[in-house]
Amino acid sequence: MERMLRSLKAILERRMPRAFALLCPLVDARAVHDPDSEVRLLPLLVEPGDTVCDIGANRGLFTYWLLRRGARVLAFEPNPSLVRILKLRFPGEIRSGALTLFETALSADAGAAVLHIPRDLSPLATLDGDLAEQVEGPTDDVRVAMARLDACVSADVSFIKLDVEGHEVKVLQGARGIIVASRPTFLIEAEERHRPGAVAAVRQVLEPFGYRGFFRLDGGMRPVAEFDPAVHQSVASLERDGTRPRRGALYVNDFYFAVRPDIIARLERWRG
């Protein structure tokens, strides 16, 4: 049943984008009621009027909630099928300038790259061919543009959500100018199964700039120094398709990094 539903979703996404775009808000609106959803913490991190980046926007879950928060959103998505979905979902926001959509991958250097897109699991699309080989089923390879975040954004950015399937450090290396100038708060997905030492590598980039990292555990925030991949990120905790944890299993893959004292204080006080 699960595989059939996954295939149906993929068919809608590729062949019936208008129907898929109409269904997305119905699903996304429920996320704020999910105790495990990171969108519930956006009010701690984003103020109305902020300029924010949604890197790896996918179908637009975070873009949807960031726009509802009153932020100006710069969304980055290289998958052409998902770009089409985003344009169908947010035409008014694009026209008004509340949403700017960049049809590009981000990295440490500009140029072109091959995006490997699992046909039934577009959220696992990656620039890393080795990671693509780990996914069951056929994969479509698409040549996409690649840019540095510093070259795309001139505004003062307060928040960056980063979900790029193992390419986190490269994106951060291409964003050093923004990190220095704007000191944005980050929500970063990082997984050891994609890149051994992934969380430590992100820390090595951000901590020299004064950032402190946190992850959610037992209804509160814990310092990233307490993260143990063997305990908090066991692959055995995932469903077979690798897109979500099994019911009741512990799997931590989202990390908050902040340098502003007010944001750090909010994260330390958070209970949920």
* 262 vs 272: CA distance, rounded Å: 19
User: 162 pLDDT band (50/70/90 cuts)?
Assistant: very high
The two most distant CA atoms of the chain are separated, in Å, by: 49
Contact in structure between 42 and 35 (CB atoms under 8 Å)? no
* 51 vs 159: CA distance, rounded Å: 7
Q: Got the DSSP string for 171-221?
A: HHHTTHHHHHHH--EEEEE--TTTSTTHHHHHHHHHGGGT-EEEEEETTEE
In what helix (H) or strand (E) does residue 140 lie, and over which residues does it extend?
strand 139-147
What tens digit of pLDDT does each residue of 105-138 get? 999 999 999 999 988 888 888 988 766 566 777 8
| pLDDT for res 6 | 63
| pLDDT for res 131 | 65
| Domain coordinates in residue numbering, the chain | 28-104+149-269
Residue 90 has pLDDT above 60, yes or no: yes
Residue 1 has pLDDT above 80, yes or no: no
Single-letter amino acid, residue 83: V
CATH code of the domain occupying 28-104+149-269: 3.40.50.150
Task: Using the Cα atoms of residue 32, residue 38, residue 40 and residue 42 in order, give the sign of their dihedral.
Answer: negative
For the chain, the average pLDDT equals 93
What tens digit of pLDDT does each residue of 11-51 get? 788 888 998 999 999 999 999 999 999 999 999 999 999 99
| pLDDT for res 184 | 99
Residue 102 has pLDDT above 90, yes or no: yes
Residues forming beta bridges with residue 9, ordered by sequence position: none
* 179 vs 242: CA distance, rounded Å: 31
Residue 194 has pLDDT above 70, yes or no: yes
* 248 vs 198: CA distance, rounded Å: 24
User: 243 pLDDT band (50/70/90 cuts)?
Assistant: confident
Q: What is the pTM of this model?
A: 0.94
What tens digit of pLDDT does each residue of 45-71 get? 999 999 999 999 999 999 999 999 999
DSSP 40: G
